[in-house]
Amino acid sequence: MKRSRGGFTLIEMVAAVAASAFVFAAGTILVVSSMRMQKQILSDASRVNDARVVLTMIENLASDGAIAPPVHNDDNVEIKNTSTPSTTVLKYDVTKKTIYAGENNDTPLMEDVKNFTATVDGLLLKVKITDSNGEEFSTSVYCRSWAPELSEIKDSLNSTNPTEGNSRYELISTAFGQLGSTGKIIGDTKSFTDWYREKVTTTGTWDDSTAWCGCFVSWCIAQLNTNATSEPMFATVSDGVKYFRENSKYILPNDTSKSPIPGDVIFFDKDNKTTVTDDRFDTGNSNPLTPDHTGIVLKVDDDMVYTIEGNNRHKQVAFGTYELTDPIIIGYGQLEWNT
């Protein structure tokens, strides 16, 4: 093909157009990629900033002594302050995958949250946020408001009966030593369930899937010295209630003549919403109680009771805080201390 003067052949023109289109396309791709990268960087920076805001809020509350143990429900995880009554300062909505400030979901602090965990380890609150990309943000804070000093408990117990007080203190301090356990006895290779299974003489179905709150309480009691003559052994919570009732060592929550003391065993029926009476423990009652959780009383203060419980939130040994009038509390068991 001959070139016309001062012009291009058809092939050259097509090649030029194709080259221009390629350069334009490449430039467009580069611009789009750059925009996407910039957007991703901004998004990553935003998530980091949001996570920092959430964790800083928790750290500040803890440093002020104004944070209560986390509350875990099926739909959310709540962190409350220690005011009376307490209010929710931060909540993770499991369905919406969002962390909110307050309890009304009005102010989202961080979205696209894959998981939010707030676990108790002794007097530490360990918080971990996992975003939709799998990136983790975490903090661990000391919460001095969660429990009174053990020495204060000991002094209060010893003020009336030093021998009994020492034994009650021993029980509480034994439970304290297991805070943060997820079922395995700290300082041993066994779980609380293993220990119970070895101790019982009757055939049972106690395996690693057994709810071990009763095993934990029984283990703590069994570690006591000879000052405690009564050592109930139970894995099923209703058996624990039965033991104390049969030995006339059971206190109903509405008994105004007696009140729980640090070192008592506390029992719950989480589905119970009505007044507890003696006859409600009988299967013949039209609305019988179904005890389903237990722990050890740590402190009673005004209208609140503080506890240490096995298989508590996040399947740990952890603190619990309840109003004395909370309808899920169905009573207390008192050990028979030698004095």
133-143 pLDDT tens trace: 899 999 998 87
Residue whose C-alpha is closest to residue 69's, from 254, 327, 298: 298
Residue 287 CA, chain-centre distance (Å), reads 30
Lookup result for tokens 């703590």: 220
Q: How far is CA 329 from its chain centroid?
A: 19
End residue of a domain, out of 91, 119, 146: 146
The answer to whether residues 237 and 136 belong to one domain is: no
255 found inside a domain: yes
Structural domain containing residue 221: 150-333
Structure tokens given for 223 = 């570690």
Q: Are residues 137 and 251 in the same domain?
A: no
Rounded Cα–Cα distance for residues 267 and 297 (Å): 10
Whether 247 is in a domain gets the answer yes
Contact residues for 154 (Cβ-Cβ < 8 A; gap 6+): 165, 166, 169
Looking at the structure, tell me whether residues 299 and 169 fall in a common domain: yes
297, containing H or E segment: strand 293-301
C-alpha 317/C-alpha 312 separation (Å) is 6
Residue 65 is classified by DSSP as T
Structure tokens at 90: 């931060």
Torsion angle in degrees (nearest 10) through CA of 162, 166, 167, 171: 150
Bridge partners of 118?
127
Tell me the C-alpha distance between 292 and 286, whole Å. Answer: 18
Which of 123, 146, 169 marks a domain boundary? 146
Residues 105 and 156 in one domain: no
pLDDT value, residue 41:
55
Is there a single domain that holds both residue 142 and residue 156? no
Please give the pLDDT value at position 116: 93
4 and 120 share a domain? yes
Under-50 pLDDT residues of the chain:
1, 3, 226-228
User: Per the structure block, which two tokens stand in for 297?
Assistant: 């009383």
CA distance 321 to 120: 13
Same domain, 267 and 133: no
Residue 268 host element (H or E): strand 265-268
Residue 239's region, left for phi above 0, alpha for psi from -120 to 50, else beta, is: alpha
Q: Collect contacts of 303-309 with beta carbons under 8 A, ≥24 apart.
A: 305/260, 305/266, 305/329, 306/147, 306/148, 307/266, 308/172, 308/175, 308/176, 308/179, 309/213, 309/216
What is the number of domains present in the chain? 2
Residue where one domain finishes, among candidates 99, 129, 146: 146
Three-state secondary structure call for residue 232: coil
Instruction: Using alpha carbons, select from 121, 93, 86 the residue that is nearest to residue 107.
Output: 93
> Is 306 part of any domain?
yes
Please name the amino acid found at residue 37: M
Residues 299 and 165 in one domain: yes
pLDDT at 314: 63
Task: Report the Cα 256 to chain-centroid distance in Å.
Answer: 31
Q: Is the peptide bond before 291 cis (omega within 30 degrees of 0)?
A: no
Considering the entire predicted model, what is its pTM?
A: 0.65
